Amino acid sequence: MVRNRLVTVLTLNDGVLFRTKQFVPDYRYTSNFVDLWSIDEIVVLDVTRPGHGDRAHFYDAVSRLAENCFVPLAVGGGVRSLADARRLLSVGADKVVVNTGAIERPELITDIATAYGAQCVVVSIDAHARGDGTYDVRSEFGATSTGQSPDAWAKRAETLGAGEIFITSIDKDGSLEGYDNDLNHLVSRAVSVPVLVCGGAGNWQHFVDGFRIGGASAVCTTNIYHFTETSIRSAKRFLDAAGLPVRL
Amino acid sequence: MSVAVVDYGLGNLRSVAGAITKLGFEAVVSDDASELERASKLILPGVGAFGDGMRLLHERKLTTVLNRLVIELQRPILGVCLGAELMARDSEEFGFHQGLGWIDASVKKIDGGGLRVPHVGWNAVHQTATHPMFADVPQDSLFYFVHSYHIVCDRPGTEIGVAEYGGPRTAAFARGNIWGTQFHPEKSQRHGLTLLGNFLRA
């Protein structure tokens, strides 16, 4: 039986590790504390705003990370073309994460899936709660409304060749209040590919809820205090005790 | 001893080469016949679609080279994920495609029976045979899988490990010098590195 995955999301601003809050780079980490051995998978996202920073810094950072990373590495941020995807794979990515690029040109998903297989394409969806129980998919770091609902977009992305869906609540990002499991459930119910949920995890019970209520295949955290060896082990023991099989 | 990672334009070549280097061996990523010939071990990696994989092997004239090295000269080779699938006779992924035909097996779409497809994540590999591939790898160790199609062996014997996902699925096979894993040892942490080391030292 496949285990429940615990995934670390690293957000890089011009090649430097930052935590984000409601999508704004919020806190810079001076050293890399990520334990590359206990975590099940790593997602690296370039959150550098267009016109700021040098993309080469991001590629360098990914390349350095990949050298010592023997778990799957999904990388994204600013992927607009098959050439961008190829570049990420060449610096050590195992999967490519697409978001705004796929909203602007949905065929991008098919292009990458055709070239490298569906399992290589993770479609990231940033959703904003309208406050009336519905959600709006946002592009360009949450700035632009698309008017699409995340479940419909996830379903379409799956049809176009997405191998996994990565759903993030913009509102919960960096809040530590727990995931938006209404959102997660909406999306996980809509598709048959694995769903990774992100945004808001602040304690181990939030991970349990992400799996049980949100229907997640993988729970993600960007919180630095969730990265260390002891904390990942502790989180996994908590999940195991709650009856959720994990890789201990 | 050098290890050649066969470059046919698909696949996580860097990850595989990185793991080989980490284990203290020299990795050469190449599609050049003479370079492949010089290597004492071969790895056929891969992520992507079966049809594309075979087309690229043919385009780069690698099928002829590989058949000579692996079948005639019995050079040890490890296929990983798509690389292992390509060793089968045929596949039904996006149409019917012929494979290298080294293993009596077909590649079929995973019928998850309500489980999510692709099969992504860490799953236990149950060793159904004693094999050098699994030296120092505990029974039912977890390995990382990511695939929508899977290898179905014609008969027991070649299969040496299975993983449960909507039924027992072939996770590893071996026939003489030809080894294959449906999972990614280069992305499976400690046990994955042990298994790769077993191939490199065998």
ipTM of predicted assembly, 2 dp: 0.92
- Flag if B122 and A193 touch (Cβ within 8 Å): no
pLDDT tens for A132-144 read: 999 999 999 999 9
Alpha-helical regions (H) of chain A: 55-67, 82-90, 100-104, 107-116, 150-160, 181-190, 204-212, 229-241
**Residue A138 belongs to a domain:** yes
Residues of A with CB below 8 A from B16's CB? none
**Residue A248 belongs to a domain:** no
Nearest residue in chain B measured CA to CA from A2: B123
CATH number of the domain within which A233 lies = 3.20.20.70
DSSP state of A15: T
pTM above 0.90, yes or no: yes
Q: Give me the residue from B117, B122, B192 closest to A192, CB to CB.
A: B117
User: B 99-138 residues with CB below 8 A of A?
Assistant: 112, 115-124
How many structural domains compose chain A?
A: 1
Judged against a pLDDT cut of 70, whether residue A35 lies above it is answered with: no
DSSP state of A30: S
Q: Which two tokens stand for residue A32?
A: 């890399």
Q: Which residues of A touch B (CB under 8 A)?
A: 1-5, 37, 40, 66-67, 70-73, 89-92, 94-95, 114-120, 163-164, 192-194, 217-218, 247
Domain that holds residue A131: 5-241
pLDDT tens for A183-200 read: 999 999 999 999 999 999
**Residue A56 belongs to a domain:** yes
Under the banding of pLDDT at 50, 70 and 90, the label for residue A222 is confident
Q: What is the pLDDT of residue B81?
A: 95
Which secondary-structure segment (H or E) carries B33? Answer: helix B33-38
- Flag if B48 and A194 touch (Cβ within 8 Å): no
Residues of B with CB below 8 A from A121's CB? none
Residue that the structure tokens 């002829």 belong to: B64
Q: Which residues pair with B41 in a beta bridge?
A: B3
Question: d(Cα B178, Cα A40) in Å, to the nearest integer?
Answer: 29
Q: What is the pLDDT of residue A67?
A: 84
Q: CA nearest B160: which of B127, B182, B137?
A: B127
- Flag if A119 and B118 touch (Cβ within 8 Å): yes
Provide CB contacts within 8 A for B90, sequence distance 6+: B96, B97, B98, B99, B101, B106, B107
Under the banding of pLDDT at 50, 70 and 90, the label for residue A36 is low
Q: Give me the residue from A5, A72, A163 closest to B187, CB to CB.
A: A72
Under the banding of pLDDT at 50, 70 and 90, the label for residue A225 is low
Cα atoms found within 13 Å of the Cα of residue B18, Cβ hemisphere only:
25
Question: d(Cα A173, Cα A143) in Å, to the nearest integer?
Answer: 14
CATH number of the structural domain B2-201: 3.40.50.880
**Residue A58 belongs to a domain:** yes
Q: What is the pLDDT of residue A34?
A: 58
Question: d(Cα A113, Cα B117) in Å, to the nearest integer?
Answer: 14
Considering chain A, what percentage of its residues have pLDDT values greater than 70?
94
Q: What is the pLDDT of residue A32?
A: 55
- Flag if B147 and A119 touch (Cβ within 8 Å): yes
Q: What is the pLDDT of residue A139?
A: 96
Under the banding of pLDDT at 50, 70 and 90, the label for residue B60 is very high
Question: From the candidates B29, B80, B122, which should be mutated to test the interface with A, based on the most A CB atoms within 10 A?
Answer: B122
Question: d(Cα A186, Cα A167) in Å, to the nearest integer?
Answer: 10
For residue A186, the SS3 value is helix
Q: What is the pLDDT of residue B10?
A: 80
Lowest average pLDDT, out of A15-29, B73-87, B110-124, goes to A15-29
Domain boundaries, chain B: 2-201
Nearest residue in chain A measured CA to CA from B82: A117
Question: d(Cα B117, Cα B110) in Å, to the nearest integer?
Answer: 7
Residues of B with CB below 8 A from A95's CB? 146
> What count of other Cβ atoms lies within 10 Å of the Cβ of residue A182?
13
Q: Does B185 touch chain A (CB under 8 A)?
A: no
Lowest average pLDDT, out of A52-66, A201-215, B5-19, goes to B5-19
Q: What's the average model confidence in pLDDT over A69-92? A: 94
Q: What is the pLDDT of residue B130?
A: 97
- Flag if A118 and B148 touch (Cβ within 8 Å): yes
Q: What is the pLDDT of residue A38?
A: 82
> Helix A107-116 to helix A82-90 angle, to the nearest 10 degrees?
40
**Residue A246 belongs to a domain:** no
pLDDT tens for B129-173 read: 999 999 999 999 999 999 999 999 998 889 999 999 999 999 999
